[in-house]
């Protein structure tokens, strides 16, 4: 039977980085196992390669079917009436980086100084900055913050590409005193900044599958990639991980390795640990799982960025003309000033086009999220069957600071969207709700395209009907007027409509062994067992004030160096 030095579970953002970096050593054998399809420059579908990402993330072929999540918390909602919504998590090589929104930023230096309080000084800002530099090839900026020869291309959306709507809102905010900041990944301060993206010179996505698993990396004899293969569980002998059990046509098959590296993402990594016997002992027993290690923190500490948006029906001249362009063109960093919240804790995205279809082209959105959120939820298992998705409960807005900030954000958005300075670019303003209904019409396909073209034609042709049609068919009776005149009504709307930004982190968080809720140490090693690490976004102890792909890649780059150093030390011992 073949035996590997390392088997990596999950070929997502982090898994691809580890596979590429560890196999730089020709004596180190690695098996990378991914449940979804292979993605390479030759076989990648057009919508995955495109620099316009919204068709990729709403294509159900690229995500875990059946994954649902509770978004809003229980504070303003009775538990039994809470609803779940579909929650997209990638299921293809490259993981999130193959379908995500391509926004590429890093977060605040203080985010990483907080990580160091849990995981040790190797996570403080000065220690992670060299890894942010290592991973990137920044086409626009130089200096102490930037790298020039890493695998991930980074660039900013130039002003001349911004739509009329985005330019008008950015101009309004600048006139109100928010400075223009050229480099989102430079010094951390509030202001209006062009979005930084991982799109290359040819307007194509730069995913970890393409940037790290290059043709020459794939040719390494010490790297094996198995796609469309599901790992069922990690196999233990006593408390030592010895390999994994995969599904195969002929039934379960065991693959042995010296060390197992879990990179299945924030939702599926804790599920894998629990299924394999690591979790709260009482929960494991209830599911009939033999206890390998009693770690109460597995699946806890789930965090996301709670978001809300206000949309505007755009006048024709203010719409995005080049439909290959990315829709999120500008970010605005704000400080809420709410007690206990860090500077730059809020992010506003100015969105030129709200979906790929004709109606989306006519709607601009102001999408605000709490970038330094405090609410915590959990992931738990409902079945030991790997095909049954876990329970995912974000419990968003359960921390009062998040609720206050999102309410404040909504009121600010409403004021901005109605400002007379924007009269020339928009007509109707309405609250947006990222519901399953919206998802359904946003999934790519001919029928959705035809329906949306007919509907948007009607909205353009009959301005007298527009307001009524939007209130009745788009927002289903929820009006700005009603929300702005009654705080209780607004809070109910926030509970119902709060969305995430697909940035789940924290469910296998790092910390010291005597920290009851820590799952891993600062090097990803799982407490209580041997030869097993978690190396993905789930180990982040707190959510960074950033979109999470670049922080995850940084984390995986750093983990790869820890593993290499430990291997070297073992070999010379
Ligand atoms: C729709 C969407 C939009 C996003 N937009 C942005 C953005 O614009 N900018 C940004 O910075 N971040 C964005 N993110 C977040 C970012 O992509 C993630 O933070 C990042 O990809 C996390 O990496 P990961 O390695 O932890 O997990 P993932 O990349 O999710 O990788 C986990 C991998 O493990 C595989 N896997 C899971 N279970 C098993 C199993 N049992 N057997 C085998 N394989 C398994 C999965 O199929 C998946 O490929 C977005 C994410 C999504 C989903």
Q: Provide the CATH number for the domain around residue 269.
A: 3.50.50.60
CB distance 265 to ligand 1 below 6 Å: yes
Take atom 8 of ligand 1 and give the residue whose Cα is closest. Answer: 101
Q: How confident is the model at residue 251 (pLDDT cuts 50, 70, 90)?
A: confident
The reply to whether 171 and 35 lie within a common domain is no
63 and 89 Cβ atoms separated by less than 8 Å:
yes
The reply to whether 332 and 452 lie within a common domain is yes
Does 117 reside within a domain? Answer: no
The reply to whether 359 and 281 lie within a common domain is no
The reply to whether 343 and 492 lie within a common domain is yes
Q: How far apart are CA 562 and CA 547, in angstroms?
A: 24
Does 385 reside within a domain? Answer: no
Q: Give SS3 for 463.
A: helix
Q: How confident is the model at residue 509 (pLDDT cuts 50, 70, 90)?
A: very high
Concatenating the DSSP letter of every residue in 432-463 gives E---HHHHHHHS--HHHHHHHHHHHHHHHH-H
CB distance 537 to ligand 1 below 6 Å: yes
CB distance 231 to ligand 1 below 6 Å: yes
Tens of pLDDT along 176-234?
999 999 999 999 999 999 999 999 999 999 999 999 999 999 999 999 999 999 999 99
- Within a 13 Å sphere around the CA of 214, how many CA atoms are in the beta-carbon half? 10
The reply to whether 319 and 417 lie within a common domain is yes
Determine which of 310-324, 370-384, 512-526, 549-563 has the lowest per-residue pLDDT on average: 310-324
In the listed set 497, 521, 539, which residue is the last one of a domain according to the structure? 497
Burial class of residue 469, CB neighbours in 10 A (0-12, 13-18, 19+):
middle
Does 390 reside within a domain? Answer: no
| Parallel/antiparallel/unpaired status of strands 30-33 and 3-9 | parallel
| In the predicted structure, residue 417 carries a pLDDT above the cut 60 | yes
Determine which of 254-263, 376-385, 474-483 has the lowest per-residue pLDDT on average: 474-483
Among 8, 9, 12, the mutation site with the greatest number of ligand 1 atoms within 8 A of its Cβ is: 12
In the listed set 497, 520, 554, which residue is the last one of a domain according to the structure? 497
In the listed set 467, 497, 527, which residue is the last one of a domain according to the structure? 497
The reply to whether 295 and 311 lie within a common domain is no
For 294, phi and psi rounded to 5 degrees? -90, 100
Does 319 reside within a domain? Answer: yes
Does 393 reside within a domain? Answer: no
Does 206 reside within a domain? Answer: no
ipTM, two decimals, is: 0.99
- Per the model's pLDDT, the better-predicted residue between 76 and 453 turns out to be 453
Determine which of 95-104, 154-163, 444-453, 488-497 has the lowest per-residue pLDDT on average: 444-453
Active site residues: 503
| In the predicted structure, residue 27 carries a pLDDT above the cut 70 | yes
CA of 208 to the centre of ligand 1 (A): 11
Helices in 58-187 by DSSP H: which ranges?
A: 96-99, 109-119, 125-135, 164-175
The reply to whether 225 and 298 lie within a common domain is yes
The reply to whether 482 and 427 lie within a common domain is yes
Residue 171 belongs to domain with CATH number: 3.30.410.40
The reply to whether 189 and 248 lie within a common domain is no
Take atom 49 of ligand 1 and give the residue whose Cα is closest. Answer: 95
Does 164 reside within a domain? Answer: yes
Q: How many domains does the chain have?
A: 2
The reply to whether 418 and 295 lie within a common domain is no
Helices in 298-399 by DSSP H: which ranges?
A: 358-361
Does 457 reside within a domain? Answer: yes
> Could you tell me what percent of the chain has a pLDDT over 70?
98
Q: Which domain holds residue 485?
A: 159-194+307-372+399-497
Among 14, 61, 89, 100, the mutation site with the greatest number of ligand 1 atoms within 8 A of its Cβ is: 100
The reply to whether 349 and 437 lie within a common domain is yes
The reply to whether 190 and 296 lie within a common domain is no
| In the predicted structure, residue 2 carries a pLDDT above the cut 90 | no
Helices in 67-158 by DSSP H: which ranges?
A: 96-99, 109-119, 125-135
Q: How far apart are CA 496 and CA 122, in angstroms?
A: 40
């Amino acid at each position: 039977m073949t035996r590997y030095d390392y088997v990596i579970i999950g070929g997502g953002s982090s898994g691809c980085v580890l596979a590429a970096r560890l196999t730089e050593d020709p004596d180190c054998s690695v098996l990378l196992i991914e449940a979804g399809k292979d993605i390479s420059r030759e076989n990648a579908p057009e919508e995955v390669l495109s620099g316009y990402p919204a068709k990729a993330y709403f294509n159900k072929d690229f995500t875990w079917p059946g994954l649902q999540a509770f978004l809003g918390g229980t504070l303003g909602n009775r538990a039994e009436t809470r609803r779940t919504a579909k929650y997209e998590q990638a299921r293809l090589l490259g993981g999130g980086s193959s379908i995500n929104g391509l926004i590429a930023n890093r977060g605040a230096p203080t985010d990483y100084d907080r990580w160091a309080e849990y995981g040790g000084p190797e996570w403080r800002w000065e220690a992670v900055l060299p890894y942010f530099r290592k991973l990137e090839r920044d086409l626009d900026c130089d200096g102490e913050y930037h790298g020039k020869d890493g695998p991930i291309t980074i660039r900013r959306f130039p002003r001349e590409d911004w739509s009329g709507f985005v330019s008008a809102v950015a101009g309004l905010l600048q006139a109100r005193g928010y400075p223009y900041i050229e480099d989102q990944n430079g010094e951390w301060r509030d202001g209006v900044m062009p979005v930084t993206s991982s799109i290359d010179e040819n307007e194509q996505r730069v995913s970890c599958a393409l940037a790290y698993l290059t043709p020459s990396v794939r040719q390494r004899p010490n790297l094996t990639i198995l796609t469309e293969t599901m790992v069922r569980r990690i196999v233990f002998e006593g408390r030592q991980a010895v390999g994994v059990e995969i599904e195969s046509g002929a039934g379960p098959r065991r693959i042995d390795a010296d060390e197992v590296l879990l990179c299945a993402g924030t939702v599926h990594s804790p599920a894998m640990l629990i299924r394999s016997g690591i979790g709260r002992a009482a929960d494991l027993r209830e599911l009939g799982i033999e206890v390998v290690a009693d770690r109460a923190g597995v699946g806890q500490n789930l965090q996301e960025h709670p978001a809300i948006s206000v949309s505007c029906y755009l006048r024709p001249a203010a719409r995005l003309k080049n439909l290959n362009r990315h829709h999120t063109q500008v970010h605005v960093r704000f400080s809420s000033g709410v007690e206990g919240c860090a500077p730059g804790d809020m992010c506003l995205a100015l969105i030129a086009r709200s979906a790929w279809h004709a109606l989306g082209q006519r709607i601009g959105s102001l999408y605000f999220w709490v970038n330094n959120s405090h609410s915590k939820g959990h992931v738990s298992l409902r079945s030991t069957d790997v095909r049954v998705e876990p329970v995912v409960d974000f419990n968003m807005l359960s921390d009062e600071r998040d609720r206050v900030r999102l309410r404040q954000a909504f009121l600010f958005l409403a004021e901005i969207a109605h400002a007379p300075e924007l009269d020339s670019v928009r007509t109707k303003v309405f609250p947006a709700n990222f519901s399953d209904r919206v998802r359904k019409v946003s999934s790519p396909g001919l029928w959705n395209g035809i329906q949306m073209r007919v509907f948007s034609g009607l909205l353009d042709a009959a301005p007298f009907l527009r307001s009524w049609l939007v209130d009745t068919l788009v927002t289903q009776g929820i009006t700005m007027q009603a929300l702005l005149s009654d705080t209780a009504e607004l809070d109910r709307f926030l509970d119902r409509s709060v969305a995430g930004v697909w940035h789940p982190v924290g469910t296998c968080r790092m910390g010291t062994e005597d920290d009851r809720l820590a799952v891993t140490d600062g090097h990803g090693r799982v407490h209580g067992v041997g030869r097993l690490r978690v190396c993905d976004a789930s180990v982040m102890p707190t959510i960074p004030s950033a979109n999470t792909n670049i922080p995850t890649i940084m984390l995986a780059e750093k983990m790869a160096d820890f593993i290499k150093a430990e291997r070297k030390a073992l070999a010379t011992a």
